[in-house]
């Protein structure tokens, strides 16, 4: 019997998986494969928190496949080499995968398609992880969008996403399975020390966990989403981002589930946040170096500082600003940070400390379970002021006022910065006013007013030289 290989990547699910559906329709035996590629062909390897998630997501996918009479073959090495070897071992007639959109993956996939086609192997890739392909939504002149609002307006005016695909009920196994490496041997999980206890308590990786998270959000939180999404002390967001990052759920599934809730301002706001993810991928596709270079080239002359002690204090949640420190500690403990607090923490790094946004992007890449090249780079460049549709240079988040506005009762800070839990609401976001000793909670590493003036002067310097 002929064999079709399905190459899983950031699409670790059975339902609404076009590559898997195509393999099933081929009538061939199906060999599901995941390849752990090193930093080859410009493909960035996952960070530490993402490796933890990847281990458990692959376990969940393998369990789901085994219930269908199949299994997941895992191998490590350059993807083109590994897949070429598997084609030979299985006598595969076809290879299917779902598209990735960063430049490294696209260039590798193009070379791989040609190499396999030259061997007479049928190859096809599919749209599975976006609502709209980056080349499907353009300005009237055919250019890529650089501003979110008209981009999303064009998306909403386009035909809606197609219906989702069902998960297969069974998969035909090959006569003999190719060898698979042991997932445990990849050592994706931390051991010495095991720092993942908080992540384990907070998350359930896998397709089932993703569907449970979506159902819980739609049932319990969507109605209040417009207001609650900015409050870090409450469960006001979907928390679907890591499931999306690993493709345990598709944006099309989220879209259609949200639409069943009926038209409302809350639903539209939630879908627009899904739209921001689409916009981020749109930007990454059209700007392949988005995670390395300023989208706005005038920022190449920006006078970034390099205060390593301040960077370490920021990473460790010891800046002396409670809302920033709470966010950085939440990130370290759970592998996730509330989006409002991400903006505050990113603004503090890039504008109060004048540290290059790429330092922050790399830290988030290593510590976030939802680390996603498009979202991460777009978000950091937006806050720093150097990205597409960026926050204006004079917008410098005041961490005290932001804390008082979005955590008015101090519940978020009290949870993540327990040494301040005894403070009343009127001083919990400004502990220096309560004379909290430095051995209890660190002093401010910068004074925000002075730091803001320094940032504005730096922005003015590049405006004059532009």
Neighbours of 398 (CB within 10 A): 17
Neighbours of 286 (CB within 10 A): 17
Q: Assign 3-class secondary structure to 275-303.
A: HHHHHHHHHHHHCCCCCCCCCCHHHHHCC
Q: 31: helix, coil or strand?
A: strand
Angle ∠(369,371,373) on CA atoms, nearest 5:
165
Tell me, yes or no, if 152 is annotated catalytic.
no
Neighbours of 303 (CB within 10 A): 11
Q: 95: helix, coil or strand?
A: strand
Of the candidates 382, 400, 401, which has an alpha carbon nearest to the alpha carbon of residue 392?
Answer: 382
Distance from C-alpha of 120 to C-alpha of 24, rounded to nearest angstrom: 20
Distance from C-alpha of 275 to C-alpha of 147, rounded to nearest angstrom: 12
The catalytically annotated residue of 304, 404, 419, 432 is: 304
Q: 246: helix, coil or strand?
A: coil
Tell me, yes or no, if 380 is annotated catalytic.
yes
Find the Cα–Cα–Cα–Cα dihedral 301, 307, 312, 314, rounded to 10°.
-60
Taken as a whole, the chain contains a residue count of 466
Contact (CB, 8 A) for 310 and 296: no
The catalytically annotated residue of 177, 195, 276, 432 is: 276
The catalytically annotated residue of 136, 255, 268, 339 is: 339
Q: Tokens for 102?
A: 């960063």
* Dihedral sign (CA 359, 363, 364, 370): positive
267 alpha-carbon distance from chain centroid: 21
Tell me, yes or no, if 382 is annotated catalytic.
no
Q: Tokens for 5?
A: 């290989």
Helices (H), 119-248: 148-157, 197-202, 207-220, 225-228, 241-245
Q: Tokens for 443?
A: 């002093």
The catalytically annotated residue of 7, 336, 380, 382 is: 380
Contact (CB, 8 A) for 98 and 129: yes
- Per DSSP, 232 falls in state T
The catalytically annotated residue of 52, 97, 357, 365 is: 357
Tell me, yes or no, if 177 is annotated catalytic.
no
The catalytically annotated residue of 89, 124, 268, 273 is: 273
- Per DSSP, 351 falls in state I
Tell me, yes or no, if 135 is annotated catalytic.
no
Contact (CB, 8 A) for 23 and 122: no
Contact (CB, 8 A) for 129 and 13: no
Tell me, yes or no, if 404 is annotated catalytic.
no
Angle ∠(180,166,12) on CA atoms, nearest 5:
35
> Which amino acids are annotated catalytic?
273, 276, 304, 339, 357, 380
């Amino acid at each position: 019997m002929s064999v079709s290989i399905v190459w899983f990547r950031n699409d670790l699910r059975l339902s609404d998986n076009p590559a898997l559906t195509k393999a099933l329709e081929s009538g061939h035996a199906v060999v599901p494969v995941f390849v752990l590629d090193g930093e080859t062909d410009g493909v960035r390897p996952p960070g530490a928190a993402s490796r933890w998630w990847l281990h458990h997501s692959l376990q969940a996918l393998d369990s789901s496949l085994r219930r269908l009479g199949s299994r997941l073959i895992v191998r490590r090495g350059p993807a083109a080499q590994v897949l070429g070897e598997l084609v030979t071992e299985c006598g595969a007639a076809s290879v299917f995968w779902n598209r990735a959109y960063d430049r490294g993956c696209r260039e590798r996939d193009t070379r791989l398609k040609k190499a396999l086609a030259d061997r007479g192997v049928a190859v096809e890739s599919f749209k599975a992880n976006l609502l709209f392909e980056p080349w499907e939504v353009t300005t009237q002149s055919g250019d890529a969008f650089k501003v979110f609002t008209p981009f999303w307006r064009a998306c909403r005016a386009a035909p809606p996403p197609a219906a989702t695909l069902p998960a297969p009920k069974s998969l035909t196994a090959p006569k003999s399975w190719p060898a698979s490496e042991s997932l445990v041997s990849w050592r994706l999980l931390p051991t010495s020390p095991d720092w993942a206890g908080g992540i384990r308590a907070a998350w359930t990786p896998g397709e089932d966990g993703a569907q449970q998270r979506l159902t819980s959000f739609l049932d319990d939180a969507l109605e209040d989403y417009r207001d609650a999404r900015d409050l870090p002390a409450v469960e006001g967001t979907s928390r679907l981002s890591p499931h999306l990052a690993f493709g345990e759920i598709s944006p099309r599934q989220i879209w259609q589930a949200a639409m069943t809730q009926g038209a409302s301002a809350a639903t539209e706001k939630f879908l627009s946040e899904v739209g921001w993810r689409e916009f981020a991928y749109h930007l990454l596709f059209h700007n392949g170096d988005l995670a390395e270079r300023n989208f706005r080239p005038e920022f190449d002359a920006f006078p970034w500082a390099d205060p390593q002690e301040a960077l370490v204090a920021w990473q460790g949640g010891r800046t002396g600003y409670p809302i920033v420190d709470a966010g950085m500690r939440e990130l370290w403990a759970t592998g996730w940070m509330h989006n409002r607090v991400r903006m505050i923490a990113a603004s503090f790094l890039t504008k109060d400390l004048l540290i290059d946004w790429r330092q922050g992007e790399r830290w988030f890449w290593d510590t976030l379970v939802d680390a996603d090249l498009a979202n991460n780079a777009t978000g950091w460049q937006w806050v720093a002021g150097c990205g597409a549709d960026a926050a204006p240079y004079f917008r410098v988040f005041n961490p005290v006022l932001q804390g008082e506005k979005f955590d008015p009762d101090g519940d978020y800070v009290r949870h993540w910065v327990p040494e301040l839990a005894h403070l009343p609401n009127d001083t919990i976001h400004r502990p220096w006013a309560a004379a909290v000793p430095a051995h209890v909670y660190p002093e401010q590493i910068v004074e925000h007013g002075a730091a803001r003036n320094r940032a504005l002067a730096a922005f003015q310097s590049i405006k004059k030289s532009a």
